[in-house]
Structure 1
Amino acid sequence: MQVLYFAWLRERIGAAREDVATEAATVADLVAELRAREPRYAAAFADLGAIRVAIDQEMRDFDAPLAGAREVAFFPPVTGG
């Protein structure tokens, strides 16, 4: 599946997108796999309260299933001004 990173997540990980082969059942499982990869991922996903997720461009929670997902995007909350 395609995993997309936006804003400071992209900066910490050093990539805007990547193809990820995963057996993760949920977004939380995917995050655990990514965190275990290397320190830059662990740093990017250190505070899940500061991250939002979308599966195939629909906002979801971290307990959402990944079955059939083609794209998962991680980004900080959007704020207005």
Structure 2
Amino acid sequence: MKLLYFAWIRSKVGLSEERVSLPDHVGNVGDLVDWLVARGPNYAAALSERKVVKVAVNQEYVGFDHPVKSGDEIAFFPPVTGG
């Protein structure tokens, strides 16, 4: 699974992208975020406020109940503002 991090999420995690093996207990985006937060304080700081983190699976915005599987590309974004 390929994970992509953007803007301040990237800064807090310390990576712009990484490849991970999907643990067996991870079935949806929420499970993935829980697993990432448990990996360390950088992930916890970046993903602690789920209400503001946007997630895309295979380039489509999804909710935290969206299923994930090996081979997916998951991107994490902060809120997008326009003007």
> What pairs with 1:1-81 in structure 2 (closer than 5 Å)?
1-23=1-23, 24-67=26-69, 69-81=71-83
Q: Provide structure 2 residue ranges, at least 5 long, that are not aligned to the other structure.
A: none
Structure 2 length as normaliser, TM-score? 0.92
Deviations 1:18-46 (A, max 9, x none): 00111310000000110001111111111
Give % identity: 48
Root-mean-square deviation over aligned CA pairs: 1.1
Runs of 4+ residues over 4 Å off in structure 1: none
Number of residue-to-residue matches in the alignment = 81
Structure 2 residue matching 1:50: 3-state secondary structure: coil
- The 1-side partners of 2:71 and 2:63 are apart by 14
Amino acid at match of 1:5: Y
Amino acid at match of 1:15: L
Amino acid at match of 2:5: Y
Structure 1 length as normaliser, TM-score? 0.94
